Amino acid sequence: MKTLIKRLVETWGPSGREEAVRQLVQAEIEDHVDSMTISPMGGLHAIVNPGGGTKLMLAAHMDEIGIIISHIDQEGFTRFHPLGGVNLETCVGHRVRFEDGTMAVIGVEQRSERKKPPRLENLYLDFGVSSAQDCPVKVGDMGAFDRSFIALGDRLVAKSMDDRIGVAILIETLRQMKRPQHEVQFAFTVQEEVGLRGAGPAAFGLDPDLAIAVDVTLTGDTPRGVKMAVVLGGGPAIKVRDKRMISDPRIVDLMVSRAEEAGIPHQFEVLQRGSTDAAAIQLTRAGVPAGCLSIPCRYIHTPSEMVDMNDVEKAVNLLLEILSKSINI
């Protein structure tokens, strides 16, 4: 599974430009599903056992945070706006890659208050050119952070673990899943990082009876970190609440009961900031009972997001347990 994760996290795909990720996913799952369609927004919907009773939607987003060029000056330096929640503290000196492979380095202006994090207007992209005519990008071009995958034992580090790790979990679940008793809808969504934009239309089209998103969450296990009862290696976290949603208690109970029955370690997530596709799915049509299975992740929205392989494998195991039996909520 590490090989799949490496391929996913190193694939270029900022919000709104998820095509390369979608093509990779298509190739991985086409032999394991009954039908597969591309949504008008560019999401990938795959169904197993269509018409098989209860419709369960599993969702993970393909996009990653990135930047979009907003201005080019006479010397060829460019300014940019973020696509999603880019952490400005980690930007300086990092590399950005564009769709055609063009690379740039993020620089920062000299500032009088150097002890404070830079502001967006202090940052620029350096393409190694000396004029606007030689600049290889134009206003509106999108870029994503460039950082290779590494494994530190069981700890995996890369850009875009948010949420390519969720995508990997859904693919692995598909590979291992036996024929389910119900209809399972796998939704690989788009534009989550810029406002959960793809998940709502996906759920409207698929019209599920219940839904579980798979995404990352913060941890409380680093020095002077956020006060949160989630740690790397403690098992997948079952979301109870985040800033934009309260998980349906029936979905929480479903995940907890299946985890306990199978002896799968798990944690409970109460997230102060941020949300997932589950929040958008929950508000679709007349409402969808929704929850989220979260992968503990350190350094979210930086070029070095860290997850634990044990949590990833346990998340797959829990989804397989949920899918192996009838679902009544």
What pLDDT band is residue 312 in, cutting at 50, 70 and 90? very high
Helical segments of the chain, H only: 2-9, 19-29, 161-176, 199-206, 249-262, 277-282, 309-323
Q: Is the pLDDT at 112 greater than 80, yes or no?
A: no
Is residue 43 helix, strand or coil? Answer: coil
- Pairing status of strand 35-38 against strand 44-48: antiparallel
Mean pLDDT of 253-266: 97
Lowest mean pLDDT of 15-24, 37-46, 107-116, 203-212, name the range. 107-116
Q: Look at the domain 2-64+149-323 and name its fold.
A: Aminopeptidase (3.40.630)
What pLDDT band is residue 317 in, cutting at 50, 70 and 90? very high
State residue 37's pLDDT score.
97
Outline which parts of the chain fall under CATH 3.40.630.10: 2-64+149-323
State residue 301's pLDDT score.
94
Strands of 35-38's sheet, edge to edge?
A: 35-38, 44-48, 183-189, 55-61, 210-217, 290-296, 237-241, 267-270
- Among residues 28, 183, 192, 269, the one annotated as catalytic is 192
Record the pTM.
0.95
Quick check: is 64 catalytic?
no
What pLDDT band is residue 328 in, cutting at 50, 70 and 90? confident
State residue 321's pLDDT score.
96
Outline which parts of the chain fall under CATH 2.40.30.40: 66-145
pLDDT digits (tens, 9 = 90+) for 289-306: 999 999 999 999 999 999
Q: Is the pLDDT at 94 greater than 90, yes or no?
A: yes
Q: Is the pLDDT at 113 greater than 80, yes or no?
A: no
Q: Is the pLDDT at 114 greater than 80, yes or no?
A: no
C-alpha 105/C-alpha 213 separation (Å) is 34
pLDDT digits (tens, 9 = 90+) for 197-254: 999 999 999 999 999 999 999 999 999 988 999 999 999 999 999 999 999 999 999 9
C-alpha 244/C-alpha 238 separation (Å) is 16
Q: Look at the domain 66-145 and name its fold.
A: Elongation Factor Tu (Ef-tu); domain 3 (2.40.30)
Q: Is the pLDDT at 100 greater than 80, yes or no?
A: yes
Tokens of 18: 């998820």
